[in-house]
Structure 1
Amino acid sequence: MYAINKGINRPVEFKGLQAQYIMYLGIGLVLLLLLFTVLYLAGIKIYICLSVILGSGSALFYKVFQLSHKYGEHGLMKMAAKRQIPNYIKFSTRRIFYEKR
């Protein structure tokens, strides 16, 4: 018999992270790996490299989980869209309201 998928129409979730936050965390971890590589090849001592990467990684995890819990699946995109809405629209003439098409 086939197992029934009971997660139909539900958002992707992994360890409490929802939807796009999984991608944000993955991209952040890849960037931290690249940063570690650059620091190591630049000749910086390994203890300094590790402390920078571990501190940045901890901050990344904290911030991504905080955003995931605060805004949920679509909340961050809604907030970004709301910022682009102007507070008011200023017209210097009323001509566009009087034109008939």
Structure 2
Amino acid sequence: MSYIINKGINKPIEFKGLKAQYIGYLGGGLVGLLILFAILYLVGMAVYFCITIIAGLGSLLFYKVFGLSHKYGEHGLMKRNARRYLPTYLKFKSRKLFYEKC
């Protein structure tokens, strides 16, 4: 009897070069573009004009999301965004913290 070993454990989700959370960003952006198309169409804009706007914004969305994915990788964007919450320095007015026993 032989068992198949799943060698993809702990690997990030990847789809056509997009890694991890960028798949969600792209999906959310596409849903937003679909809603924008519906709004523009209901307002009464010409269909060809709506398609041109959505195609341009969709191309920009793909370009930016793939660029972020390649630049920052799986966790890099979250690390970059978390960096702004780090203090620039720590200041202690007394040494009491270092002398207390646990």
| TM-score when normalising by structure 2 | 0.84
Q: Percent same amino acid among aligned pairs?
A: 62
- Show structure 1 runs of 5+ residues with no match: none
- Following the alignment from structure 1 to structure 2, what is the Cα–Cα distance between the partners of residues 17 and 73? 9
The alignment yields a C-alpha RMSD, in angstroms, of 2.2
After superposition, the Cα gap between the structure-2 partners of 1:90 and 1:42, relative to the gap in structure 1 and judged at 3 Å, is farther
Give the CA deviation at 1:4: 3.5
Q: Which residue of 2 aligns with 1:41?
A: 42
Task: Please give the residue correspondences for 1:60-99 in structure 2 after superposition, counting only pairs within 5 Å.
Answer: 60-88=61-89, 94=93, 97=95
Q: Which residue of 2 aligns with 1:53?
A: 54
Q: Which residue of 2 aligns with 1:25?
A: 26
The aligned amino acid for 1:17 is L
The 3-state SS of whatever aligns with 1:5 is: coil
CA deviations on 1:48-67 (whole Å, 9 max, x unpaired) are 10111000000000000000
- Following the alignment from structure 1 to structure 2, what is the Cα–Cα distance between the partners of residues 47 and 89? 58
The aligned amino acid for 1:53 is I
- Following the alignment from structure 1 to structure 2, what is the Cα–Cα distance between the partners of residues 29 and 70? 21
CA deviations on 1:12-59 (whole Å, 9 max, x unpaired) are 000000000000000000000000000000000111101110000000
The structure 1 segments of at least 4 consecutive aligned residues displaced by more than 6 Å after TM superposition are none
- Following the alignment from structure 2 to structure 1, what is the Cα–Cα distance between the partners of residues 4 and 59? 38
After superposition, the Cα gap between the structure-2 partners of 1:42 and 1:4, relative to the gap in structure 1 and judged at 3 Å, is same
